[in-house]
Amino acid sequence: MSFAELGLSEELLQSVTAAGYDTPTPIQAQAIPSVLMMRDLIGIAQTGTGKTASFVLPMIDVLAHGRRRALMPRSLILEPTRELAAQVAENFEKYGKNHDLKMALLIGGVQMGDQVKALQEGVDVLIATPGRLMDLFERGKILLTGCNLLVIDEADRMLDMGFIPDIENICTKLPAQRQTLLFSATMPPPIKKLADRFLSNPKYIEVARPATTNTNIVQHKVKVGGKQKREVLRHLLRTDNVGTAIIFANKKTTVRELAKSLKRHGFAAGEIHGDMDQSSRIAELDRFKDGSISILVASDVAARGLDVKGVSHVFNFDTPWHPDDYVHRIGRTGRGGASGRAFTLFTEDDLEAIQNVEKLTGGPIPVMVVDLGKGSTSQADEAKLDSDDRKSSGRNRRDKAPRKEPVAREEAAPVEARAPREDRPVREERREERAPRREPRREEARRDERYGRWRDNDPPAKPGEWNGPIPEFLAVSALK
């Protein structure tokens, strides 16, 4: 089957061909005709299957007819993260270059001014994260009554991030008669409940069993000691023919420390996590895409839907807390029919988490044994750099020698053995040895002669009588 058989316009087919695509993926082949027929749709597909194009392409043709109005977008696409929203915007720019469609991107981390200006001029496609959209709606900067097409993308991720109440709120502000498309990699009960409430007789498309992994990805798990994680990771990066790799960690602090450690060991590494502002995150992604860096250390903000071509490896430095995140993380490799490799480092503390992952994916992950004796750098260099890592991350505190136990004091003599009270030395002798205490200082009586203050060594003979020189100000007043 080709894109020409799906009912797309000639202008759109030219854009698709110029982008280098000629054959639709399974999710695209099933979803595009239904969207063009204005049906509601639920699409269940694993990441990396072309899910974004399955709604972007037909939306361009649907929106090609009609006019835009100020503050009233004609369609809305909800994304859980800024990176996914920006990626969908790139798809619209790429495929919609032959159409007169205007798009606006509403995401956090950037100034509202340009976003409000774009809305005032009118947009055909509004791509937004729920938080920024609700913020602008509450400020009265946007109206949703003219939005006749809604796309909820990565719905399971929305659930994980706590956006479902916001999505329900947004849906109530849209026209009741509209087309709604919902895409997700998994279908947990809350998402099914959302679909039952806001979708009308949807077509259900499932191109892969929920929570299954891409068969093109070779998976391994590597058991490590707690202090060997970084060493094992570096060994794999050097010996497994890594082209470009994304390394996932559960905590933002781990992402920062691991990126710094890899840089010290000579790797071209960058980082991306939720504490970075939007411009910094985009800059790091651009560096990774253009090859300036070959390793990207990331939190789960980059786990969903991020499309970077040619990622050869994914490493789970930490076993994900949520099993679903494993599917999305390793889905950053093996995209578009390419092959990929995924490694998960786990310790004794991660046994339950790795078992939950295997339960979800339907089978055990093969174990890989790593021989650290085949590293490409000398052991002395590795030891020195590891020491630097511990110092920079504060872990050297745990490596210090244990504190010495305080030396026990000698036991006090029993009461009977003490000298009787009368035999004890009298403290009066010590008092005699001390220097005599100074007499308490008299109240300062001295005063500066210039201002007529009393002097310590020349007190008045009688109260109120002055026997010093006449102050200047008194003398001047007396002359007057």
Domain boundary among 144, 177, 206: 206
pLDDT score recorded for residue 463: 52
Q: Do both 107 and 223 map to the same domain?
A: no
- Structural domain contains residue 49: yes
Q: How many CB atoms are located within 10 Å of the residue 219 CB? A: 21
* 261 Cβ contact list (under 8 Å, min separation 6): 230, 389, 392, 393
* 300 Cβ contact list (under 8 Å, min separation 6): 248, 250, 320, 325, 328, 329
pLDDT tens sequence across 42-72: 999 876 678 899 999 999 999 998 889 999 9
Give the confidence band of 438 by pLDDT, cuts at 50, 70, 90.
low
Is the model's pLDDT at 416 over the cut of 50? no
Element (H, E) at 471: none
pLDDT tens sequence across 356-372: 999 988 889 999 998 88
* 265 Cβ contact list (under 8 Å, min separation 6): 234, 377, 385
Give the confidence band of 433 by pLDDT, cuts at 50, 70, 90.
very low
- Structural domain contains residue 141: yes
pLDDT score recorded for residue 338: 83
Q: Do both 65 and 198 map to the same domain?
A: yes
Give the confidence band of 394 by pLDDT, cuts at 50, 70, 90.
low
Query: HEC states along the chain?
Result: CCHHHHCCCHHHHHHHHHCCCCCCCHHHHHHHHHHHCCCCEEEECCCCCCHHHHHHHHHHHHHCCCCCECCECCEEEECCCHHHHHHHHHHHHHHCCCCCCCEEEECCCCCHHHHHHHHHHCCCEEEECHHHHHHHHHCCCCCCCCCCEEEECCHHHHHHCCCHHHHHHHHHCCCCCCEEEEEECCCCHHHHHHHHHHCCCCEEEECCCCCCCCCCEEEEEEECCCCCHHHHHHHHHHHCCCCCEEEECCCHHHHHHHHHHHHHCCCCEEEECCCCCHHHHHHHHHHHHCCCCCEEEECHHHCCCCCCCCCCEEEECCCCCCHHHHHHHHCCCCHHHCCEEEEEEECHHHHHHHHHHHHHHCCCCCECCCCHHHCCCCHHHHHHHHHHHHHHHCCHHHHCCCCCCCCCCCCCCCHHHCCCHHHCCCCHHHHHHCCCCCCCCCCCCCCCHHHCCCECCECCCCCCCCCCCCCHHHHHHHHC
Q: Do both 180 and 221 map to the same domain?
A: no
Q: Do both 38 and 132 map to the same domain?
A: yes
Domain boundary among 173, 206, 239: 206
Domain containing residue 134: CATH number:
3.40.50.300
Greater pLDDT, 27 or 337:
27
Residues constituting the chain: 480
- Structural domain contains residue 416: no
The residue segments making up the domain with residue 473 are: 449-479
- Structural domain contains residue 427: no
pLDDT score recorded for residue 28: 95
pLDDT score recorded for residue 452: 45
Greater pLDDT, 179 or 400:
179
User: How many helices (H) and strands (E) in the chain?
Assistant: 18, 13
pLDDT score recorded for residue 267: 96
- Structural domain contains residue 82: yes
pLDDT score recorded for residue 281: 86
* Bridge partners for 245 per DSSP: 295, 313
pLDDT tens sequence across 215-251: 889 999 999 987 889 999 999 999 999 999 999 999 9
Q: How many CA atoms lie within 13 A of 158 on its CB side?
A: 31
Q: Phi first, then psi: what are they for 232, rounded to 5°? A: -65, -40
Is the model's pLDDT at 85 over the cut of 80? yes
Is the model's pLDDT at 435 over the cut of 60? no
- Structural domain contains residue 444: no
Burial bucket for residue 414 (CB in 10 Å: 0-12, 13-18, 19+): exposed
| 183-192, 403-412, 456-465: least confidently modelled range | 403-412
| Domains identified in the chain, total number | 3
CB contact at 8 A, 297 and 269: yes
Give the confidence band of 464 by pLDDT, cuts at 50, 70, 90.
low
Calpha distance 144→164 (Å, rounded): 18
Q: Do both 192 and 257 map to the same domain?
A: no
Give the residue among 139, 134, 120 at the shortest CA–CA distance from 71.
Answer: 120
Q: Do both 159 and 243 map to the same domain?
A: no
Q: Do both 180 and 39 map to the same domain?
A: yes
- Structural domain contains residue 408: no
Q: Do both 28 and 141 map to the same domain?
A: yes
- DSSP 8-state symbol, 367: B
Give the confidence band of 327 by pLDDT, cuts at 50, 70, 90.
confident
- Structural domain contains residue 433: no
Give the confidence band of 274 by pLDDT, cuts at 50, 70, 90.
confident
CB contact at 8 A, 317 and 233: yes
pLDDT score recorded for residue 383: 52
pLDDT score recorded for residue 392: 53
**CA dihedral (199, 204, 205, 208) positive or negative:** positive
Greater pLDDT, 46 or 267:
267
Q: Phi first, then psi: what are they for 326, rounded to 5°? A: -60, -45
Percent of the chain clearing pLDDT 70 (strictly above):
75
Mean pLDDT in residue range 349-362: 91
Q: Do both 152 and 236 map to the same domain?
A: no
| 178-182, 342-346, 429-433: least confidently modelled range | 429-433
Greater pLDDT, 351 or 447:
351
Q: Do both 224 and 345 map to the same domain?
A: yes
Q: Do both 165 and 258 map to the same domain?
A: no
Is the model's pLDDT at 188 over the cut of 90? no
Q: Do both 125 and 144 map to the same domain?
A: yes
Domain boundary among 206, 225, 249: 206
